[in-house]
Amino acid sequence: MPGTKSAGDPQGAVDLKLDLRSPPESAKKPQSKDSSLWNGSPSELPNLQKTKGITAFQTLVHLVKGNMGTGVLGLPLAVKNAGILMGPLSLLAIGFIACHCMHVLVRCAQRFCHRLNKPFLDYGDTVMHGLEASPSAWLREHAHWGRRMVSFFLVFTQLGFCCVYIVFLADNLKQVVEAVNSTTTNCHSNETVVLTPTMDSRLYMLTFLPFLVLLVLIRNLRVLSIFSMLANISMLVSLVIVAQYIAQEIPDPSRLPLIASWKTYSLFFGTAIFSFESIGVVLPLENKMTDTRRFPAILTLGMSIITALYIGVGVLGYLRFENDIKASITLNLPNCWLYQSVKLLYIAGILGTYALQFYVPAEIIIPLAISQVSKRWAPLLDLSIRVTMVCLTCALAILIPRLDLVLSLVGSVSSSALALIIPPLLEITTYYSEGMSPLTIAKDALISILGFVGFVVGTYQALDELMQPGHPATFSNSTIFVR
Report the C-alpha gap between 271 and 311 in whole angstroms. 13
Whole-number pLDDT of residue 387: 93
Whole-number pLDDT of residue 15: 39
Whole-number pLDDT of residue 273: 82
Q: Is the per-residue pLDDT at 221 higher than 70?
A: no
Q: Which amino acid is at 428?
A: I
Whole-number pLDDT of residue 8: 40
Q: Is the per-residue pLDDT at 442 higher than 90?
A: yes
Whole-number pLDDT of residue 225: 66
414 or 8: which carries more pLDDT confidence? 414
Per residue in 345-385, pLDDT (tens digit) is: 888 888 877 877 787 788 888 888 888 888 888 889 999 99
Q: Which of 284, 402, 277 has its CA nearest to residue 9?
A: 277
Whole-number pLDDT of residue 443: 95
Q: Which of 167, 123, 153, 124 has its CA nearest to residue 9?
A: 167
Per residue in 14-73, pLDDT (tens digit) is: 434 343 333 433 334 343 333 333 333 333 334 434 444 678 887 887 677 666 666 788
Q: Is the per-residue pLDDT at 3 higher than 60?
A: no
Whole-number pLDDT of residue 168: 84
Beta bridge partners of 184: 336
Q: Is the per-residue pLDDT at 427 higher than 90?
A: yes
Residue 448 binned pLDDT confidence (cut-offs 50, 70, 90): very high
Whole-number pLDDT of residue 445: 94
Average pLDDT, the chain: 77
Residue 193 binned pLDDT confidence (cut-offs 50, 70, 90): low
Residue 300 binned pLDDT confidence (cut-offs 50, 70, 90): very high
Whole-number pLDDT of residue 195: 63
The DSSP code sequence of 223-288 is: HHHHHHHHHHHHHHHHHHHHHHHHTSSPPPGGGS-SS--HHHHHHHHHHHHHHH--GGGHHHHHHH
Which of 47-56, 329-338, 473-482 is predicted least confidently? 473-482
Whole-number pLDDT of residue 280: 66
- DSSP annotation of 143: T
Report the phi/psi class of residue 322: left, alpha or beta, with left for phi > 0 and alpha for psi in -120 to 50: left
Residue 7 binned pLDDT confidence (cut-offs 50, 70, 90): very low
Whole-number pLDDT of residue 222: 67
Domains, the chain: 23-475 (1.20.1740.10)
Q: What is the mean pLDDT of residues 85-112?
A: 92
Report the C-alpha gap between 77 and 196 in whole angstroms. 26
Q: Which of 243, 266, 214, 225 has its CA nearest to residue 40?
A: 225
Dihedral of the CA atoms 330, 334, 340, 343 (nearest 10)? 0
Inter-CA distances, 44 with 74, 163, 218, Å: 15, 14, 18
Report the C-alpha gap between 455 and 173 in whole angstroms. 32
Whole-number pLDDT of residue 17: 39
3-state secondary structure of 467: coil
Whole-number pLDDT of residue 184: 65
Whole-number pLDDT of residue 357: 76
Whole-number pLDDT of residue 386: 92
Report the C-alpha gap between 52 and 119 in whole angstroms. 13
Task: Tell me the H-state helices in 133-143.
Answer: 137-141
CA atoms within 13 A on the CB side of 305: 14
Highest mean pLDDT among 52-66, 314-328, 392-406: 314-328
Q: What is the mean pLDDT of residues 449-474?
A: 73
CA atoms within 13 A on the CB side of 209: 18
